[in-house]
Structures are given as C-alpha cells and as structure tokens.
Amino acid sequence: MPLILDRSAGHVAASGDGPLAIDFSGITPDRLAGLSAAEIAHRHILADERPCPLGDVCTVRGTADDGRIECSGDFSRVHWLAAGMQWGEMVVAHSAGRHAGEKMTGGRLSIGGDAGDWLAAELGGGTVLVAGSAGDNTAAALPGSQHGLRGGMVLVEGHVGSLAGARMRRGILAVGGGCGPAAAFELRAGTVLVIGEVGPQSGLGMRRGSLIAASAEPPVPPLFRRGALWLPTFMPLLAAGLRQAGFRAIGALGDAFRRPWQQWHGDPLAGGRGEIFHRGGLDPAVS
C-alpha cells in the first residue's frame, strides 16, 4: 500500500482557515521509506513557518516502502512537494503550491491540476508532469543562481508564466499551451518546446540550446539571424520521447516533427550559438 496523505474536509476548513503556507520539504519516498504511518505522522514540517507534526495538516495512511506517495485533497497551499526527491513517485490528485519538484534528482512527480511558481526549479533529474498550468519561473534558476533545469524532463500540458526555462543548463521543458515573456532567457543548453503562443522577448541572451516555437507567429528577437529551412534529426526523436513520457499535448502537432523547420541563430550578444525553430512556411513576429 502506498503512503496516502489526505488533506480533504477534516483538515481544510470551508472558511479558508488554517495555514496559509505549508512546507513539505523532506516529505519524499526516499526519506520516508522504512517508517511506519505513526512515525511519518509525527514527522515535523513547517506550517506558516512554525514547526508542527505532519499529521496536523493531513491524514496519514500506509507507508512509503513501495516508493509511492499519493496526495489527495487541497494541496494548493502546500509548497516544496517532492523537492529534492532522489527516487520514487509522488502523485498529487489536484493542484500544488510553489516550488514543486525543486532540485529533484530522480523519480517522478505527477500533478493532476495546476502548479505554482518555481515548478521544477533547478531540477537535476527525473520527470515532472503537470496536467494543468504552471506559474512563473518554471524549470528556471533560483534567485542568484546561474543554472536552472540541469537534467530530466518537465512536461506542462497547459500554460506557463514568464521566464520559463530561464538559464536552463540541460534537459527538456515542454509546454502544451502558451508561455509568458522571456521564455528560454539566457538559455545555457537544453530544449524548450512551446506548442502554444510564445511570449515576447523569448530567447534573449541565449548562449546555446534550442527554443522550439510551434505557434503561428513565434517572436524572434531582432538580432537573431535567419538560418536554414531543414529537418533536424533530433526532432522526431524528441517527439517520440515526449509521447513515451506521457506528454499528451504533443499530439496537437501531428506530423510536424517530420517536416522542415525554420532555424534562427542567436543571441549574437551572448555568442550566437543558440537557436530558435518554428515550422517552415510561417512568418515570425519580431519582438
């Protein structure tokens, strides 16, 4: 039996009373394996910056010995879900708060609703899958850091906010909807795929890596140079990998990954080794 953490009616008052912010740092399968339900319930977390037992904010059933944690009820105020997870699986039935999946190095986090800001910030490995939308700084660098996503995959079926994939070092960020301003800002390496509309100033400061814009009018920064119209060999492989990982939104592109894409080179102010792709035959909007 997996570990079940339930924040349904008994822990969330209809009036909205209760902790405004709950820090779940350390509540991961790799750290709870071997503990009984009673021991897990007595493990201390932070609720509004004050220590309290986990059992005070959710009902605890089962154990994490099989490497799986299931979160049901209202977790929209619960932050740092699966942060630092090394292995195992966490499944959140509905929405999650900020910093979900931050600095994970392995395992899988699935969120059935929306996620807050800083989703998968500085993820080092594993997979994060969000059925809804996510906030700002998805897969980005934390304040003061030079590197965002460092490996693994972040898959968001809906929209994301600003600075998605900022300073990514490697890995894949795939967005089924649109994104806010400055996606792939100062991208170091890795791949950012946006199936919906791409916001302005995207790709500024790119050093390396790829921003794949599948929208009708992707914004290309004015200093980027137009490259070739061709089919990179990694495109079909990328599509196959995303389908295998469970990214449903990839189906909206049909056979686009087997047709030519227009390439742009930039940012020349950062070395010019990054690239923006959009489907061949589309006229890009200049930001």
pLDDT score recorded for residue 16? 56
Question: For 11-39, what is each residue's pLDDT tens digit?
Answer: 554 445 679 999 999 999 999 999 999 99
Q: Where are the domains of the chain?
A: 114-286
pLDDT exceeds 70 at position 285:
no
| % of the chain beyond a pLDDT of 70 | 94
| % of the chain beyond a pLDDT of 90 | 88
Distances (CA, A) of 60 to 2, 53, 66, 84, 99: 11, 11, 15, 21, 22
pLDDT score recorded for residue 15? 44
Cα–Cα distance between 69 and 2 in angstroms, integer? 6
Question: For 173-232, what is each residue's pLDDT tens digit?
Answer: 999 999 999 999 999 999 999 999 999 999 999 999 999 998 766 889 999 999 999 999
pLDDT score recorded for residue 283? 56
pLDDT score recorded for residue 1? 82
Neighbours of 10 (CB within 10 A): 10
pTM of structure: 0.95
pLDDT score recorded for residue 10? 58
pLDDT score recorded for residue 204? 96
Question: For 238-256, what is each residue's pLDDT tens digit?
Answer: 999 999 999 999 998 988 9
Question: For 125-166, what is each residue's pLDDT tens digit?
Answer: 999 999 999 999 999 999 999 999 999 999 999 999 999 999
pLDDT score recorded for residue 214? 87
| 74-93: average pLDDT | 98
pLDDT score recorded for residue 13? 47
